Amino acid sequence: MSAYIQGRNVNLTFRPPNRRPVRALQNFDIDVNEGEFLSIVGPSGCGKSTFLNVLLGLAKPDSGDIMLGGKRIEGPGTDRAMVFQEFGLLPWRTVQSNVELGLELKGVATETRREVSQRLIEMVGLVGFETHYPHELSGGMKQRVGLARALATDPDVLLMDEPFAALDAQTRDLMQVELLRIWQEAKKTVLFVTHQIDEAIYLSDRVMVMTKRPGQAKKIFAIDLPRPRDYEMRVTREFNDLKLEIWNELKDEITSR
């Protein structure tokens, strides 16, 4: 049976004017199962975010194929949504109207938009803040709005590009717990880019380590830790053995020239 998301021999080189070409991805392969939570870790600049943009349909590879549900990805589509590191909220719109943005652009009726946004606002724990504006929210609350907005159009695949990088340590830990709860409720396929090995292990079914640029898939780690997961599992021997294994695979890419 074929994987839900398949990437085969994906190559992409950026060619900025008057500068040297930058080869971002080289013979990149990936398989993701439907409903899976897969995290990608790798050195800075290795092509992690570039691949998410290819999967989102915003970047076109020079060669290779990306398939989603058996269909080749040719451009953006409503079956995929991205949650970015920068919250990207419109400052003149309230929490509710930010969540409804994608639905509004699709021409969904007001009453339906309200029903969907209210359900998602409840899911991400922001009841009571519907009429607040982004400047009135904490970083963690802004990221919850961004997550609700991504879910509002009911995508099949949720792409997350270091979504918690700008948060303080305690808020980041809290958002990881919340993301697992939301993922289990929403039942989406998730690709999650992060630099944090702990975060990748805690959230994921599998973790991919990428090589330095040009990025390739170096090794996949199965995270055979029971779900539901609690914060305390991070101090277990099994968790830290996995962390060391992944670090040993990753550090060669960070330190090699």
pLDDT tens digits along 65-118: 999 999 999 899 889 998 887 768 899 999 999 999 988 988 889 999 999 999
CB 160 within 8 A of CB 81: no
Yes or no: domain 1-79+191-257 corresponds to CATH 3.20.20.70: no
- At 203, is the secondary structure helix, strand, or coil? helix
130 vs 118: CA distance, rounded Å: 8
For 22, phi then psi, to 5°, come to -120, 115
Q: For the residues 24-34, what does the mean pLDDT come to?
A: 95
User: Residue 211 carries which DSSP code?
Assistant: P
The model's pTM is 0.90
91 vs 242: CA distance, rounded Å: 41
Residue 198 has a pLDDT of 94
Domain ranges in the chain? 1-79+191-257
Q: For the residues 113-137, what does the mean pLDDT come to?
A: 92
175-186: pLDDT as tens digits: 898 889 889 888
- Going from the C-alpha of 226 to that of each of 36, 43, 157, 193, 201, the distances in angstroms are 14, 28, 23, 22, 12
| Both structure tokens of 195 | 């630099």
164-216: pLDDT as tens digits: 888 888 888 888 988 898 898 888 999 999 999 999 999 999 999 999 999 99
Closest residue by Cα to residue 57 from 32, 33, 80, 28: 80
8 vs 23: CA distance, rounded Å: 17
For 41, phi then psi, to 5°, come to -120, 155
